[in-house]
């Protein structure tokens, strides 16, 4: 059978901790409102695309991505399951698989 001697104490302690966290949250919110800020700064979005003049390819069987010069495909070693991730302009079509 479970001991119930400190059940009320533990419940009150958890409630007190929750109240303290809520109060700290309210205080931070008030400080941000007074300072005119809305929250933590996230920063600039990073560019995740391939650099200009490069194509990015992905191979599911190898579990990796590689970059090659525009217009070329990675080595066609088996299994040849390379998928082009880079958006290609209409005049620049990827090479056909051999």
- 11-47 pLDDT, tens digit per residue, is 889 999 999 999 999 998 888 888 876 656 667 777 7
What is the pTM for the complete model shown? Answer: 0.46
Residue 55, beta-bridge partner list: 68
- 86-97 pLDDT, tens digit per residue, is 877 777 666 665
For 6, the token pair is: 């400190």
Domain boundaries, the chain: 1-38, 49-98
């Amino acid at each position: 059978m479970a001991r119930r001697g400190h059940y009320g104490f533990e419940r009150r302690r958890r409630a007190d901790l929750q109240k303290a966290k809520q109060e700290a949250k309210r205080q931070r919110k008030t400080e941000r409102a007074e300072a005119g800020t809305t929250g933590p700064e996230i920063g600039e979005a990073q560019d995740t695309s391939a650099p200009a003049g490069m194509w990015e390819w992905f191979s599911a069987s190898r579990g990796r991505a590689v970059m090659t010069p525009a217009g070329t495909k990675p080595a066609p070693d088996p299994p040849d399951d390379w998928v082009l991730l880079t958006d290609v302009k209409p005049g620049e079509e990827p090479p056909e698989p051999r």
